[in-house]
Amino acid sequence: MMGQRHWVVIVLAACVALAALPGCDVERRKSDAELGLTAQQSAGRKIYDNYCDRCHRPDSTKGKKGPGLKGVFQHQYLPQTGLPANDDRVTDIVRNGRPDMPGYSQVLNAQDLQDLLAYMHTL
């Protein structure tokens, strides 16, 4: 019986150790309502999810393939280009792309871009 209790302690200790790993603190994705998004921002979030999220994290300044975009409009300049962090520059980048980023001028219309920018201002 003592051996069985020993294994229970080891298993519990292992579970506690695994739960404490840094990669295990994944948060549940908040809904549009929880974030207080408007209809336009919600539409922009869908566009972001479809086209931007694969390379740019919306909730971090750490990047994937491209820079993370949390707080992108809260800074004077864009992180990698040094261009002004404003709607005109970001629209230009989304439309025309960058050396390692495709442009979306053939995919996103003017309303899509406005919706995307509205969402990005919430990051």
User: Would you say residue 15 has pLDDT above 70?
Assistant: no
H helix or E strand, kind and range, residue 46: helix 39-47
Establish if 98 belongs to a structural domain. Answer: yes
Tell me what pLDDT residue 41 has: 97
Contact call for residues 115 and 104 (beta carbons, < 8 A): no
Residue 38 has pLDDT above 50, yes or no: yes
Average pLDDT, the chain: 84
In a domain, 24, yes or no: no
Q: Can you give the pLDDT at residue 64?
A: 85
On whether residue 103 sits in a domain, the answer given is: yes
Provide φ and ψ at 101, rounded to 5°.
-135, 130
Whether 78 has a pLDDT exceeding 80, the answer reads yes
DSSP 70-99: TTGGGSSB-TTT--B-SHHHHHHHHHH-BT
Crossing angle of helices 110-120 and 39-47, in 10° steps, is 100
73 assigned to some structural domain = yes
Identify the CATH number of the domain in which residue 45 sits. Answer: 2.60.40.420
**CA pair distance 17, 80, nearest whole angstrom:** 37
Domain count, the chain: 1
Residue 20 within a domain: no
- Is 6 a member of any domain? no
Instruction: Give a yes or no: residue 17 inside a domain.
Output: no
User: Model confidence at 24, in pLDDT bands (50, 70, 90)?
Assistant: very low
Q: In this predicted structure, what is the pLDDT of residue 29?
A: 83
- Binning pLDDT at 50, 70 and 90, where does residue 21 land? very low
Q: Which token pair is 28?
A: 């549940």
Domain that holds residue 80: 40-123
Read off the pLDDT band of 55 (50, 70, 90): very high
Whether residue 61 lies inside any domain: the answer is yes
